[in-house]
Amino acid sequence: MPPRARQNTLSSRGSRGSRAAAASAAAPAPPAAPAPASAATITISIEGQEPAALADANLRNEEDEAELSTSSDPASDTQDRPPPTPIVIGDVTYYDKVEYEGKKGKKKTAYIWNYGFEIIHATSKTKHYYCRLCLDEKEGDKSYKPLTMNGTSSILTHFRSKHNRDKHGNIINPTSAPPSGTASPMPDSQIISLSILDKFKLLLIQWIVFCHIAFSQVENAYLLALISFLSEAFAKLMPSRVTVRGWISTEFHKRKTTLSKELRRARSKIHLSFDLWTSPNCYGMIAIVGHYIDRKGCRQTTLLAIRKIVGEHSGENIAACVCKVVREYRIRKKVGFFVLDNASVNGVAVDRIMSSLHPDMPEKQRKRRRLRCFNHITNLIAKAFLLGVKSEETVDQLLLAEHHGDFGEIADVWRKHGTLGRLQNIIRHIRLTPQRRHAFKQCKGSPEDWKEFGHLEVCIFCAYSPFPSLVIPIKQTLT
């Protein structure tokens, strides 16, 4: 390594300005920025003013003009700043990023910046990491090349493999490695094929996505120890939290492109169903699902999108979100029917969607494209059977009382519904405290204890039921 580069490794960032005197004269320097045109004279034209007011305006104009002439010019600062000191590594010239750009960015807190800094290639302007430890240890090795700045995972891997430091900068104790009796059961080959690497990335992504794992867990020390125990080669490939976010985004777009091609090749129409709800962190969300027969003749149900709804949950707002998803997958001509619940906004949404996709379709045909969800209808029937014709009002009262934590109001609402309400109150009373749950479990007896009650029957009366009474053997209720 040239003496100039070696001297750079030993100098701190604050003392790099002194390196300009010893820089190579042949090293290319970045072109100076052209000076902008001089500041234009400010003129104020005032009509219909008195002579005194006009004189005051001219005076203010002259004061502003003098202030502009004495103010500092940014171009002059650029011209006065000395050119950055070239850093020659091998036969390649770099510049310190801070000196090259003439400004300091946000303070970086990672420990890697205590052992190096960012440099810029003189020709390609690519960003690289200048490792002081490597330059000190290489002793003039001309084959040394600065690390390319593409996140921090490659730099952390470099410090782990070359300088025996973990992600926090602590020196890894060699005695902490597993003893020979517990060596890795996997053959630790240093050569990993691309197919195996892609499989490893996919498995890691599936674990994070399907198990709802935080991105930061890929840097967990215990996980890294487990991967190292299985294979040191894979441990060196473990990404950072930023890199794994990029992997997931890339895999998502790849899967979305594949799904779009599959939808366009489907044998049947793409029938859509969607529903809205409020997430625990108070975001309005909509999920859109596609139902179709694929090109192999198999029935498929696939989640197409989960989007955030901005604004009110109106039919127009829902239609705009669904139409955007349809255009993204390019399935406008293959959209079939819509299976939705009985909310009135869904009818408006379907009408707007079909009007946007097929402007020439008559209104009567647009209305026929909406189908009612059978499960939702069954749910409404069950609530009407149990809670009466005013089941929606009862549910709203229960939700409001539960939101305020008013258990007395909850008991009063259920008490109005006869036997079913009393049974609900008994269950809630038992489950309210762990002591009552334990006492209830102690009441459980053996089947022999209930033989004498096997011939008894329970008669349940429901005022809102079409059946006047239900006679059920008590043995069936217990089993």
- Residues 153-196 pLDDT 10s: 778 877 777 777 777 777 776 544 444 444 444 444 556 778 88
- Cβ-Cβ contacts under 8 Å for 191 (sequence gap 6 or more): none
What single string gives the DSSP state of each residue in 278-326? E-TTS-EEEEEEEEEE-TTS-EEEEEEEEEEPPS---HHHHHHHHHHHH
Check residue 215 and give its pLDDT: 93
How does pLDDT run across 409-456, given as a tens digit for each residue? 888 888 888 788 888 888 888 888 899 888 888 877 666 766 666 665
Instruction: Give 129 or 216, the one with higher predicted confidence.
Output: 216
* Chain segment 253-295, per-residue pLDDT in tens: 999 999 999 999 999 999 999 999 888 888 899 999 999 999 9
Lowest mean pLDDT among 89-98, 231-240, 274-283: 89-98
Mean pLDDT check: name the lowest of 37-46, 107-116, 180-189, 321-330.
37-46
Pairing mode of beta strands 470-473, 457-460: antiparallel
38-52, 66-80, 264-278, 286-300: the lowest-pLDDT one: 38-52
Buried b (16+ CB within 10 A) or exposed e, 351-385: bbbbeebeeeeeeeebeebbeebeeeeeeeeeeee
Q: For residue 304, is pLDDT > 60?
A: yes
8 Å CB contact between 38 and 46: no
Closest CA to 19 of 9, 32, 4, 33: 4
Query: Quick one: pLDDT at residue 49?
Result: 41
Q: What was the pLDDT predicted at 445?
A: 67
pLDDT at residue number 70: 42
Using only the alpha carbons of the chain, give its radius of gyration.
37
Name all domains of the chain by residue range, CATH numbers in brackets.
3-36+73-162 (no CATH), 265-372 (3.30.420), 388-444 (no CATH), 445-479 (no CATH)
Q: Is the pLDDT of residue 106 over 90?
A: no
At residue 31 the predicted structure's pLDDT band, cuts being 50, 70 and 90, is very low
pLDDT band for position 310 (cuts 50, 70, 90): confident
Residue 232 — pLDDT band, cuts 50, 70, 90? confident
Residue 379 has pLDDT above 90, yes or no: no
Mean pLDDT, residues 52-70 taken together: 46
Q: Which residues pair with 148 in a beta bridge?
A: 128
pLDDT range class, residue 51, cuts 50, 70, 90: very low
Q: Could you tell me which residues come within 8 angstroms of residue 375 by beta carbon, excluding any fewer than 6 positions away?
A: none
The mean pLDDT of 53-64, rounded to a whole number, is 47
